[in-house]
Every structure is written in structure tokens, then in C-alpha cells.
Amino acid sequence: MKSLLVSLILVTPAFAVHFDDVGFRREFSGWKKNKTANYEFTDTTYRTYIPTITATPSGGIFLTTQVDLVAFGTNGAVSHIDLRFNSRGDLLSAQIRSTVDTKIIDTGLVRRPEAPAPVEGQKAKPFDATEELLVTLFSTFDMEMKKISEGKENEKRDLFSRLSSDKDAKTSNLPAGLRHHINLLLKHTH
């Protein structure tokens, strides 16, 4: 029995990452029966779904969730956020896949960057790998949104409205809403 316990301790990673689902749920005042929560951000309604979390063999987690931008009672955009963390809770990779009307936006998998090599004789500049990963993720997202909206700039006043088939779609900022959601996910991952 002692040897079994010792074996289990040796196999368990030293720093197992944890997602605080209770704290995350409080951000939205709880979940509805259909496992969703609606919330307002930048004058736009979003619907989020309870994240699915899968443990990795190395003690990390893979977290995936869906976030809908709700426009006039329907889905204005459906987005899937995938995040992978190591056992210490460091964000290793992220991906966003969104569908706006029938158009697909996919950032592809964005991996955690390495810190730049120090330059001899110069003080090292501050480097935050998670923030750099997110900057790359949303730069890619913005570029993909721009690609599918080119040629429609004069038809409507904002990017989401240009992508949406609804002529009356109100101004919204899908990337800001997704960034807010990712920030909440990161806040509750330890």
C-alpha cells in the first residue's frame, strides 16, 4: 500500500494547474440551465458556455469554450476559444475560430514565444510571453477579419457590420469581447 501511494505521488506533477470554475461562474452571476451565461461588454451582448477542461498527461490542461456575439436575438458571431496551459499555469498556445454569417475566421494555433536573446552590453527588455502570445493571436485575428471584409468597407460603418448580413447590425467590437473573455479565463487559471 505504501509503495502504491509513493508511486502515485511520483507520477503526479509537482505543479498541477487548476481552473477556478466557481470564480469564473461568478463573473457572469452563475449559469443558466442550458449551461450558458449572457453578459454585456462594450454595449454588446455576449453568450458564453461553460468551458470544457481536459487534463494533459504532463499535468497541464486544455480549455475550450464557445462565445457568441448576440445580435438582435440571434448569433451575430460564434467563436471558439482554445487555450493550452502547462502544469505551472503558463499559457502555451491559443487559437480562435469564429464564424460571422457564413465567413470563417481562424487564427491557427499560436504558440508561446521564446524570450529574445539578450544583446551583449545592453540591459534586457521586459518580456511577457503570455502578453506576446495574445498580441500575436489578436493581430492574426484582426488580419483574418480584414481579409474577409475587404471590398465592403463603404457598405457599413464597422467591421462586424460589414461581415454580418444584417443591414441593421449595431456597432460592436468582436475582438475586444473575445479578449475580455480570454482575460477572464486567464484570471481564473492558476
Model confidence at 15: pLDDT above 90:
no
Q: Tell me whether residue 67 is in a domain.
A: yes
How far apart are alpha carbons 138 and 147 in whole angstroms?
14
Summarised one tens digit per residue, pLDDT across range 137-189 is 999 999 998 887 775 554 455 555 555 555 434 435 889 999 999 999 999 99
Q: Tell me whether residue 121 is in a domain.
A: no
Q: Tell me whether residue 8 is in a domain.
A: no
The pTM for the full model equals 0.82
Query: Cβ(82)–Cβ(76) under 8 Å?
Result: no
Cell 505551472, residue?
A: 88
Q: Tell me whether residue 120 is in a domain.
A: no
Q: Tell me whether residue 77 is in a domain.
A: yes
- β-pair partners for 55: 61
Q: Are strands 36-41 and 103-106 parallel, antiparallel or unpaired?
A: unpaired
22-29 CB contacts, 8 Å cutoff, 24+ apart: 23/187, 23/188, 24/51, 24/184, 24/185, 24/188, 27/184, 27/188
Q: Tell me whether residue 6 is in a domain.
A: no
Lowest mean pLDDT among 15-24, 53-62, 65-74, 81-90: 65-74
Q: Which domain holds residue 178?
A: 14-113+127-187
Q: Where does residue 32 rank: exposed (0-12), middle (13-18), buried (19+ CB within 10 A)? A: exposed
Q: Tell me whether residue 87 is in a domain.
A: yes
Q: Tell me whether residue 88 is in a domain.
A: yes
Q: C-alpha grid cell for residue 26?
A: 461568478
Give the count of domains, the chain: 1
